[in-house]
Amino acid sequence: MSEKPEEGQEPPDAGHRRPPGVSDLTVQALGSLSKALETTERARGHLYAFHQLTGTADLELDRAVRLLREAGHAEPADTVEREIVGRNVIPGHWTFQIVEAYNRTYYRPFAALEQSLVGELAQGRDHLYEAEMKEARRTRHHPHHTARPPH
């Protein structure tokens, strides 16, 4: 935003001000790109949750197998151990391999491209769309609506 701050009001820090020559459409496009990456970050978090929950379940099967054996159910214990403990979640893959493939194939290239475009189109200034939204929405001279954190 190019508007001059009111007296006594600090503007956003330089890293959150639009560089000269960056258009509204560019800011909107980079905002959408950032939002898509943030959504991907959330998906990645769910993938890690899937990985950890599946691993926790697999380790809990050790207890189930032990208890089945202690209860005198050797054949069912053997079946659980043979058929489920350590089983691939998809052919040839444990969950860590899925996480690695996702990171290598999708997440890291996406994150690198987003950073590259922010660098190229906005001089490396992240979250310009959100910073400008904050400026438009904050209440001037309100102690909880300041442009920046306290010094």
**The dihedral of CA 103, 107, 113, 118: what is its sign?**
negative
pLDDT of residue 4: 52
C-alpha 86/C-alpha 84 separation (Å) is: 6
112-151, pLDDT tens digit by residue?
999 999 999 999 999 999 988 888 898 888 888 888 888 7
pLDDT of residue 1: 46
C-alpha 28/C-alpha 151 separation (Å) is: 30
pLDDT level of residue 27 (50, 70, 90 thresholds):
very high
Indicate whether 13 pLDDT > 80.
yes
**The dihedral of CA 44, 49, 50, 52: what is its sign?**
positive
Mean pLDDT of 6-33: 86
pLDDT of residue 2: 46
pLDDT of residue 151: 76
Specify the long-range contacts of residues 141-147, CB closer than 8 Å, at least 24 apart.
141/6, 141/8, 141/9, 146/10, 147/5, 147/9, 147/10, 147/11, 147/12, 147/13
Indicate whether 6 pLDDT > 80.
no
38-97, pLDDT tens digit by residue?
999 999 999 999 999 999 999 999 999 999 999 999 999 999 999 999 999 999 999 999
pLDDT of residue 9: 67
**Where is average pLDDT lowest: 6-10, 104-108, 127-131?**
6-10
**The dihedral of CA 129, 131, 132, 133: what is its sign?**
positive
C-alpha 72/C-alpha 125 separation (Å) is: 65
